[in-house]
Amino acid sequence: MTHPQLPHDPDKFHEECGLFGVFNHPDAAELTALGLHALQHRGQEATGMVTHNGTDFHAHRAIGLVGDTLNQPPVIAQLKGTMAIGHNRYATTGDSSLRNVQPIYADFDFGGFALAHNGNLTNALAVRTALTKSGALFHTSSDTESIIQLMARAQGSADQRLAAALRQLEGAYSLVCLSATQLFAVRDPYGVRPLVLGELHGAPIVASETCALDIIGATFVRDVAPGELLVIDATGIHSSRPFDAAPSKFCIFEYVYFARPDSTLEGHPVYAVRKAIGRELAREAPVEADVVCPIPDSGVPAALGFAAASGLPFELGIIRNHYVGRTFIEPTDQIRHLGVKLKHNANSGIIKGKRVVLVDDSIVRGTTSRKIVDMVRGAGAASVHMRISSPPTTHSCYYGIDTPEQSQLLAHTHNLQQMSDFIGVDSLAFVSLDGLYRALGQVQRDNAAPQYCDACFSGDYAIALTDKAIASEPASRLKVFSSHAGR
């Protein structure tokens, strides 16, 4: 099975970043490119790497996929050294965003320091405003720069400064950082975003998901713990807990959709969780039908679970066109009405005359679901039933996931029947919140203290949303910024 976010689907939530780091391996840059490649589903818009070779830092940042940009021989060749960190980013397109591509690099008194961030800081704007008033110059519009600016005003060693900076910040963050002698890995106290520790022939590796360990043949050691700071240097791996304790709030949507199915996060294999959700869904919302078809590719494991639990046959009733590239232009309006099927095609031999269950992972705006249902009906389905392997997404995420404004969320503005009507199905069902927790081995959701962050389904935001209250001032008056690097 494969991951579906390429090309960018406006009807999905999007993970914002993937992280990778390696310490003390002769092929540090190449391993990092491979790791970022395995994490490409966590950010397809831009990618960057910083290495250190004992004397100097070397960096490359690019708009584009890892395989098109970082993982090119001349680029790898200049990324010298045995230590490296890298970052994939989902970001707004365009040349101007290049200055926001991570890792961020800065020169401090103690030397150079590079930092890559997965997550989102919820008081970064407040911090930025205060720092600017006291003479700090920000050079990006990214929340991540606040970490660096706070470090510049802190004292002590790199890890002391990093911890001091993070203690002033709120939000979700997994970070990998690099100094001239140390690799750092840290997760926020709630552990919202994943980060794992691995090992390759003695070289420590950190990565957002285990699939990035698999691609290079590294061994999984353990998850970095919520609130843990790892400092990796020539003397070993040093763990500390520089933050106040907090309840674990791992993002439950990582299991539903973001993570790769072959990753294992916090002890749960993602593929198995998704199949289990499908089975829960079959039990909670059974339907008399002839065939179960996944919306490719993300719906496949849940559809297999649904088929197994319901006894209905599993078939590929929708074929995805995998050559859709990032730059594929949408058809013009005048021919769009022809019913152009750019991304999916109905496999009519499977669908014609059948009662079809479609299984998808989530509904965001509902527009894609509507098109697919229309296509399946056009291919002759007798009836169409949609089953969704997550609860209705009624709230936006502020912890590192790109989500539409709440007003754009179909489940915020429509009840179940209205949603069913909007996408045009004969029946529609979502797995329940409890069903989702059951698929993760819980008896049910602990509504007083939920075991995961499920704010997008429940509205229970565990971490303060300080910046949300601030009038959203534009960070910069520089609207267009382009550059031309010459021939």
* Contacting a second copy within 1-60 (CB under 8 A): 1-3, 6, 26-27, 30-31, 34, 37-38, 40-41, 44, 55-60
Q: Distance between alpha carbon 149 and the CA centroid of its chain, in Å?
A: 25
How many residues are there in the chain?
487
Q: What is the DSSP string of 192-215?
A: -S--EEEEETTEEEEESSTHHHHT
Site stretch for a second copy (CB under 8 A), options 65-73, 191-199, 277-285, 385-393: 65-73
Q: Does 180 bind a second copy (CB under 8 A)?
A: yes
| Min separation Cβ 229 and a second copy, Å | 22
Contact 238, 279 (CB under 8 A): no
Chosen residue from 13, 23, 71, 127 binding a second copy by CB under 8 A: 71
Secondary structure of 335-388 in HEC code, one letter for each residue: HHCCCCCCCEEECHHHHCCCEEEEEECCCCCCHHHHHHHHHHHHCCCCEEEEEE
| Min separation Cβ 241 and a second copy, Å | 26
Q: Does 222 bind a second copy (CB under 8 A)?
A: no
d(CA 111, CA 109): 5
Peptide bond connecting 247 to the previous residue in cis, omega within 30 degrees of 0: no
Q: Which is nearer to a second copy, 314 or 398 (CB)?
A: 314
Q: Which is nearer to a second copy, 114 or 428 (CB)?
A: 114
Q: Identify residues 405-464 at the interface with a second copy (CB under 8 A).
A: none
| 456 given a catalytic annotation | no
E-strand ranges in 53-201 read 57-63, 83-89, 104-108, 111-121, 171-179, 183-187, 196-200
Which amino acid is present at 161?
Answer: R
Q: Does 480 bind a second copy (CB under 8 A)?
A: yes
Site stretch for a second copy (CB under 8 A), options 165-173, 239-247, 337-345, 433-441: 337-345
d(CA 149, CA 156): 15
Which secondary-structure segment (H or E) carries 34? helix 28-38
| Min separation Cβ 410 and a second copy, Å | 26
Chosen residue from 82, 168, 248, 347 binding a second copy by CB under 8 A: 347
Q: Identify residues 260-279 at the interface with a second copy (CB under 8 A).
A: 260-262, 264, 269, 271-272
Q: Which is nearer to a second copy, 32 or 393 (CB)?
A: 32
Q: Which phi and psi angles does 43 have, rounded to 5°?
A: 165, 110
| Min separation Cβ 31 and a second copy, Å | 7
Q: Which is nearer to a second copy, 303 or 363 (CB)?
A: 303
Q: Does 471 bind a second copy (CB under 8 A)?
A: no
Q: Does 349 bind a second copy (CB under 8 A)?
A: yes
| Min separation Cβ 247 and a second copy, Å | 27
d(CA 157, CA 110): 7
- Site for a second copy (CB under 8 A): how many residues? 121
E-strand ranges in 141-290 read 171-179, 183-187, 196-200, 203-207, 219-223, 229-233, 236-240, 250-251, 264-265, 268-269
| Min separation Cβ 174 and a second copy, Å | 21
Chosen residue from 11, 188, 223, 315 binding a second copy by CB under 8 A: 315
Classify residue 75 by burial, with Cβ atoms within 10 Å: 0-12, 13-18, 19+. middle
| Min separation Cβ 431 and a second copy, Å | 20
Q: Which of 17, 177, 251, 293 is catalytic?
A: 17
Site stretch for a second copy (CB under 8 A), options 163-171, 191-199, 348-356, 360-368: 348-356
Q: Does 75 bind a second copy (CB under 8 A)?
A: yes
Q: Does 221 bind a second copy (CB under 8 A)?
A: no
**Integer CA distances (angstroms), 460 to 13, 40, 269, 413, 457, in order:** 18, 29, 25, 18, 8
Q: Which phi and psi angles does 50 have, rounded to 5°?
A: -130, 135
Q: Which is nearer to a second copy, 241 or 322 (CB)?
A: 322
d(CA 239, CA 241): 7
Q: Does 335 bind a second copy (CB under 8 A)?
A: yes
Chosen residue from 156, 217, 247, 441 binding a second copy by CB under 8 A: 217
d(CA 379, CA 14): 30
Classify residue 160 by burial, with Cβ atoms within 10 Å: 0-12, 13-18, 19+. middle
Q: Does 138 bind a second copy (CB under 8 A)?
A: yes
Q: Identify residues 283-312 at the interface with a second copy (CB under 8 A).
A: 296-297, 300-301, 304, 308
Beta strand 46-52 with 17-23 is unpaired
Q: Which is nearer to a second copy, 184 or 430 (CB)?
A: 184
Chosen residue from 82, 168, 199, 200 binding a second copy by CB under 8 A: 200
Q: List, by residue number, the catalytic residues.
A: 17
